[in-house]
Amino acid sequence: MTAELSPIDRAKFVAAKRAVDYVEDGMRVGLGTGSTAAWMVRCLGEIVREEGIRVTGVATSSRTADLARQVGVPIRTLDEVKWLDLTIDGADEYDSNLNLIKGGGGALLQEKIVATASDQMIVIADPSKQVDTLGAFPLPVEVIPFGWQTTKALIEEMLSNIDVLGRNASLRLNMDEPFRTDEGNYILDLHLRRIGNPQQLSLVLNQIPGVVENGLFLDICDIVVIGNSDGTVEVRDINNGTVEHERIEIVDTDNLFVDVAD
């Protein structure tokens, strides 16, 4: 199975496989959303099935919850578990301080709530997600549908006084209709190209009426696990100031992702 993976999927897979090493028996684990996080959920399901560890998952989207149930990871709500030991998620961008842009999958609100309700957040990524300065990836902003065009205009006006290179916002679409989050909200993608002061931008964005949350995850991530297509991983721990390099053994098994729908 793993021999058939593309280089980018092999990189995501080894990062995910290394990240689930942090999961211990009895933990309450936040499960991210997106293509990289999906590999993590599958790997977590494998160790639940093969090793019998007990975990409680809290999903950051309905599609992650569906996948977790398929692979045998029990799911409960955040209100039920209250607090999490660990959240593992992907990122659209990360910088050297492990600040992130997230929300490419449209689940930024639940992802941020779950991440901040965790003792530790681990991000899994491939090397292409690393940037010197955040902003190349469009910044998602979740807004309520009512008056969204006014909210968009207010955001673009605000951006004229912010240290960014681009100032256009676009409504995310699903076919010909606005994309809807699990909460029924819209997503505006801000094409900024470079964000000079992420802290300032995050604060000002969330003060605009109609904005629910933005995709800047600042001072939340503790560890990033970077996977490479050759099976090597780099683990950066921002709190300990350590960088470790490892190789993950990739073993083809007949039942690795059995009965998991695409």
Whichever domain contains 107, its CATH number is 3.40.50.1360
Q: Is residue 77 part of a domain?
A: yes
Q: What is the pLDDT of residues 216-231, one digit of tens each?
A: 999 999 999 999 999 9
Shared-domain flag, residues 82 and 174: no
Overall average pLDDT of the 188-194 stretch: 98
Shared-domain flag, residues 113 and 232: yes
SS3 content of the chain, % helix, strand, coil (to 5): 30, 25, 40
Shared-domain flag, residues 125 and 35: yes
Residues with catalytic function: 111
Number of helices and strands in the chain (H, E): 7, 16
pLDDT of residue 249: 81
Q: Read off the amino acid at residue 96.
A: S
Overall average pLDDT of the 58-76 stretch: 97
Shared-domain flag, residues 39 and 111: yes
Q: Is the pLDDT of residue 162 over 60?
A: yes
pLDDT of residue 40: 97
Confidence of residue 250 (pLDDT cuts 50, 70, 90): confident
Percent of the chain with pLDDT over 70: 95
The DSSP result for 6-62, as a single string, is: -HHHHHHHHHHHHHGGG--TT-EEEE--SHHHHHHHHHHHHHHHHH----EEEESSH
Alpha carbons 232 and 228: distance in angstroms, whole number: 5
Q: Is the pLDDT of residue 261 over 50?
A: no
Strand locations in the chain (E): 28-31, 56-59, 86-89, 93-94, 100-101, 121-125, 139-143, 168-171, 173-174, 177-178, 186-191, 211-214, 216-217, 223-227, 232-237, 242-247
Quote the tokens at residue 244: 């470790």
Residue ranges for the known binding site for substrate are: 33-36, 89-92, 102-105, 129
Confidence of residue 253 (pLDDT cuts 50, 70, 90): low
Shared-domain flag, residues 123 and 229: yes
Q: Is residue 253 part of a domain?
A: no
The 8-class DSSP code of residue 130 comes to: B
Q: What is the pLDDT of residues 86-138, one digit of tens each?
A: 999 999 999 999 999 999 999 999 999 999 999 999 999 999 999 999 999 99
Overall average pLDDT of the 233-246 stretch: 96
Shared-domain flag, residues 64 and 84: yes
Q: What's the number of domains the chain is made of? A: 2
Residue 194's domain spans which residues?
139-214
Q: What is the pLDDT of residues 15-63, one digit of tens each?
A: 999 999 999 999 999 999 999 999 999 999 999 999 999 999 999 999 9
Shared-domain flag, residues 118 and 43: yes
Q: What is the pLDDT of residues 164-190, one digit of tens each?
A: 999 999 999 999 999 999 999 999 999
Shared-domain flag, residues 79 and 164: no
Shared-domain flag, residues 86 and 176: no
Phi, psi dihedrals of residue 158, rounded to the nearest 5°: -60, -40
pLDDT of residue 57: 98
Q: Is the pLDDT of residue 254 over 50?
A: no
How many angstroms from the chain centroid is the CA of residue 1?
25
Q: Is the pLDDT of residue 7 over 50?
A: yes
Closest C-alpha to 217, from 58, 81, 11, 30: 30
Alpha carbons 186 and 209: distance in angstroms, whole number: 14
Shared-domain flag, residues 143 and 121: no
Domain at 189, CATH number = 3.30.70.260
19/3: higher pLDDT: 19
Determine if the pTM surpasses 0.75: yes
How many angstroms from the chain centroid is the CA of residue 100?
9
Torsion on CA atoms 16, 59, 52, 36, rounded to nearest 10: -10
Shared-domain flag, residues 166 and 193: yes
Q: Is residue 256 part of a domain?
A: no
How many angstroms from the chain centroid is the CA of residue 196?
22
Q: Is residue 76 part of a domain?
A: yes
